[in-house]
Amino acid sequence: MTQITIQTPDDWHLHFRDGDILNETVPATARCFQRAVVMPNLVPPVTNAAMVSAYKDRILAARPQGSTFEPIMTLYLTNDTSREDIIEAKAAGTLAAKLYPAGATTNSDAAVSALDSLFPIFEEMQKQGMLLLVHGEVTDHHIDIFDREKEFIDQNMIRIVSAFPDLKVVFEHITTQDAVEFVLAANDNVAATITPQHLLLNRNDLLVGGVRPHNYCLPVLKRNTHQQALRAVVATGNKKFFLGTDSAPHEKDKKENACGCAGCYSAWSAIELYTHVFDELGALDKLEGFASHHGADFYGLPRNTTSITLVKEDWTIPAEITLPNGNPIVPFFGGQTCSWKIKS
């Protein structure tokens, strides 16, 4: 197959950041995605309805002229989140709230350090029909970073799903066979997003031949056996798994330093790289479900009515991009060849 047309996809997990960088990140996503679930881990984080509305306005102002792209907004959960915060955010059109364990990833220091205290909030979310999006890693220093997803499942995810069976839960950017098995075994109100980097790479791509900071993300890349489990499950077309890039921009100098930031800026090539993966797997017939159907269905939103066409044609992802502030950023797979591209 050398050409494929699919309903316009959505990105069910990404980071736009804030300020001038929106003029880069929003158009990069809007070029091929109709909607995107926008993460709230700004500085300060987006913790109430007024902040959600203000952030959405800034995103809409950065859309290219004539674009119909729509951001799907989320609320940042903290130890101080109240039932009223949930009620007000839902009334303002916020569809989901994001659970970050404190210290798990970029700008998560203000996040949740006492999970059990949030159970009344989860109860209110279940009542309001607001989705819970979970960064599923424990942050205990004595637990190996490669085991933190499994430990979160054992310590927390099982309890949350058991206590709130009617709460829709998205296990974000899963990275392990353990997470795949958990989602498959859970009820139909549990789903997961999978990133391009976790389908394309494993920890060898981060560490062999020297540290490669532009492949550093959180959750960190795992061993090849886990990568293969992710690839195998998307190839089945299971409706519980859908596209979420976790596109997360950081300027080049913030990635290439002694404590490089975690995140892969994949918006420039995301749908093309997913297509590349599904082609490798002999599963191009499953791409549309993963990219365009499963997420919308799980969120209870209509599927998009437009379409995009991709052609099998080699192109080189830019090695660097210049941000509006003049600083360079290295996109995911920068300088490398992708075998699929959007037909102009």
Split at pLDDT 50, 70, 90, the class of 102 is confident
Active site includes 246? yes
For residue 103, the model assigns a pLDDT of 65
Angle ∠(130,101,270) on CA atoms, nearest 5: 70
Q: 255-275: per-residue pLDDT in tens?
A: 999 888 999 999 999 999 999
Angle ∠(225,102,98) on CA atoms, nearest 5: 80
Taking the CA atoms of 63, 64, 65 and 70 in sequence, report the sign of the dihedral they define: negative
For residue 34, the model assigns a pLDDT of 98
Q: 108-120: per-residue pLDDT in tens?
A: 666 677 788 899 9
**pLDDT (mean) for 286-292:** 98
Helix (H, G, I), strand (E, B) or coil at 232: helix
| Catalytic-role residue among 18, 246, 253, 314 | 246
Which two three-digit tokens encode residue 87?
């009620």
Which two three-digit tokens encode residue 28?
């990069």
Rounded to whole angstroms, the Cα distance separating 282 from 302 reads 28
Binding site members for substrate: 15-17, 41, 135, 218, 250, 262
Q: 311-324: per-residue pLDDT in tens?
A: 999 999 999 999 99
Binding site members for Zn(2+): 13, 15, 98, 135, 173, 246
Whole-model pTM: value is 0.96
User: Across the strands, what pairs with 309?
Assistant: 5
Residue 327, CA distances (Å) to 23, 104, 127, 206, 235 in order? 13, 27, 45, 24, 38
